[in-house]
Amino acid sequence: MFAVVREAIDPRTFEGAIRPGDGAAVKFFGVVRDRADDGRAVCALSYEAFEPLATAEFEKIAGEARERFGDVALAIVHRIGEIGVGEVAVAVVASAAHRGAAFDACRYAIDELKRRAPIWKKERYADGSARWRENENVS
Amino acid sequence: MRIRVLAFARLREILNAAETALELRAGARVGDAWAALAEGCPALEEHRASTRVACNGRLVAPDHALHDGDEVALLPPVGGG
């Protein structure tokens, strides 16, 4: 499953991303934090995406993960729109025969998504101001 | 030729439009589209070096040749996740 969605991401809905017969599944949820990197209080993040290219990039990242780590099934879902503190902005689920490949693929997918998927976020602060934030080499 | 330009995030705000139509001479390249946009909106120019460009859903180089009806997307540095 590769998707950009507008509705809330419910962490419980990813059971289907675990392939029958696999022995390991790693789930990552990126959640809206209450503080910016500089310590300012955040009340929400507003995300937007170039949707066709974003989902194509998710598929491409999953293909690369299979080349690197072997037979791994990935699900990548990113929410857009305004997302409040504590809510899930992105979910990555990796399912594989063994945990090594599942952890590696999950980490690879979220790192690459942050590096290159055409998705943008604006931090909205408690004082009413806002600014666009680019991903640096934060992991 | 006439192309559609999609702008995202801060570029959308600078252009004050998510989508705009652009009239270009035949044989124009991505760089010419930038020049035409920056002429009407000089504040765009400083973002040119950091912006990736997609044409019809694929990333392209600044010398990519454009065609009538193309959809050109301006993608500033990303912030997903």
Q: Which residues of chain B from 18 to 47 reach within 8 Å of chain A, CB to CB? A: none
The average pLDDT across B45-62 equals: 95
The average pLDDT across B36-58 equals: 95
Note whether A90 contacts B6, CB cutoff 8 Å.
Answer: no
For each of the domains in chain A, give its residue range(s) and CATH number, in order of start. 2-126 (3.90.1170.40)
Q: Which of A48, A114, A117 sits opposite B9 (nearest CB)?
A: A48
> What confidence tier does A2 reach under pLDDT thresholds 50, 70, 90?
very high
Q: Which two tokens stand for residue B30?
A: 């991505």
Note whether B57 contacts A54, CB cutoff 8 Å.
Answer: no
Question: Is B17 at the interface with chain A, CB within 8 A?
Answer: no
Note whether A90 contacts B80, CB cutoff 8 Å.
Answer: yes
Q: Which two tokens stand for residue B18?
A: 């998510």
DSSP chain B: -EEEEEE-HHHHHHHT-SEEEEE--TT-BHHHHHHHHHHH-GGGGGGTTT-EEEETTEEE-TTPBP-TT-EEEEEPSP---
- Chain A positions touching B8 (Cβ under 8 A) are 48, 50, 118, 120
Note whether B79 contacts A132, CB cutoff 8 Å.
Answer: yes
Which chain A residue's Cα is nearest to B9?
A: A120
Q: Does the pLDDT of residue A139 top 80, yes or no?
A: no
Q: What is the pLDDT of residue A137?
A: 65
The average pLDDT across A29-37 equals: 95
Question: Is B57 at the interface with chain A, CB within 8 A?
Answer: yes
Q: How far is CA A95 from CA A73, A104, B5, in A?
A: 5, 11, 39
Complex ipTM, two decimals? Answer: 0.93
Note whether B79 contacts A48, CB cutoff 8 Å.
Answer: no
Mean pLDDT of chain A: 95
Q: Which of A113, A116, A132 sits opposite B9 (nearest CB)?
A: A132
In tens, the pLDDT along A98-131 reads: 999 999 999 999 999 999 999 999 999 999 999 9
- Chain B positions touching A78 (Cβ under 8 A) are 80-81
More reliable by pLDDT, A54 or A11 = A54
> What confidence tier does B49 reach under pLDDT thresholds 50, 70, 90?
very high
Which range among A54-58, A133-137, B39-43 shows the weakest confidence by mean pLDDT?
A133-137
pTM of the model: 0.94
Q: What is the pLDDT of residue A138?
A: 54
Based on the number of CB atoms within 10 Å of its own CB, is A61 exposed (0-12), middle (13-18) or buried (19 or more)? buried
Which chain B residue's Cα is nearest to A91?
A: B81
